[in-house]
């Protein structure tokens, strides 16, 4: 699945102090289902892109 996450930076993230900036981030999720249940999940998100958005001047 593909997700687009939007939010406001209101808490410390990876050592970056909050400054109230808005951000948008792409995330990909992959799930494995067995017996009608989710049994595993993997996620990949653009951490460098998020960091850039939170630290840009």
Q: Give the model confidence (pLDDT) of 7-17 as tens digits.
A: 999 999 999 99
- Running DSSP on this structure, what letter comes out for residue 37? E
Comparing CA positions, the residue from 17, 24, 20, 18 lying closest to residue 3 is: 24
Answer whether residue 57 shows pLDDT above 90: no
Residues 6+ apart with CB under 8 A from 15: none
Each domain of the chain, given as residue ranges in start order, spans: 2-55
Q: Cα(8)–Cα(39) distance, rounded to whole angstroms?
A: 31
CATH class of 2-55: alpha beta
Q: For the residues 38-46, what does the mean pLDDT come to?
A: 97
Q: What is the pLDDT of residue 17?
A: 96
* Bridge partners of residue 57, in order along the sequence: none
Place of tokens 């970056």: 16
């Amino acid at each position: 699945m593909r997700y687009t996450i939007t939010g406001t930076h209101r808490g410390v993230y990876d050592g970056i102090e909050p400054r109230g900036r808005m951000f948008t981030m792409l995330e990909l999720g992959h799930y494995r289902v067995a017996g009608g249940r989710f049994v595993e999940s993997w996620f990949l998100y653009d951490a460098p892109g998020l960091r850039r958005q939170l630290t840009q001047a």
